[in-house]
Amino acid sequence: MEPRFNLMAGELGPKLGKRFGNVSLAIMQSALPRTTQDLVELRASQINGCAFCTDLHTKEATSAGETALRLHLVAVWRESTVFSGAERAALALTEEGTRLADAHRGVTDETWAEVRKHYDDEQITALVYTIAMINAANRLGVIVRNQGGAYEPGMFGDLTG
């Protein structure tokens, strides 16, 4: 399967990409633990079938020191013992927030209560934006068929500012 389109060609793509990146940078600089951000981004990317984002977030998490065991178990986090209560709450919110069309209830009150138990308001803001942004990125990647496999950690520069 070949990529369909280069969103960064032309004038508009880079302008939009820069603004998209600025939102992501603000999230990265938030109080939400980077490990949690990585797990959330990877899980949403798996659900959405975005090869490029799955590749990117697996390699960036590995580069940041995440273990192979935890990365392998993200897809089955509910049946795994390697995630903290806070991470489990974030992963539940990620799944429910990503599968909005599949779950007529959207985000459950139980999941929201778990998130409130583990994160403060600023972290919740970052978490909700992380879920929204990765879902948007996944959709961009899937629509234009961005390929996975060639990403190298740090290839977009120092994303932490």
* Separation CA 84–CA 54 (nearest Å): 22
User: Quick one: how far is CA 75 from the chain centroid?
Assistant: 13
Condensed to tens digits (0 to 9), the pLDDT of residues 93-152 reads: 999 999 998 867 789 999 999 999 999 999 999 999 999 999 999 999 999 999 999 999
pTM of this prediction exceeds 0.85: yes
For the chain, domains (ranges, CATH) are 17-144 (1.20.1290.10)
What pLDDT, in 10s, does the model give residues 64-91?
Answer: 999 999 999 999 999 999 999 999 999 9
Say if residues 5 and 144 touch (Cβ distance below 8 Å).
Answer: yes
The pLDDT of residue 155 is above 90: no
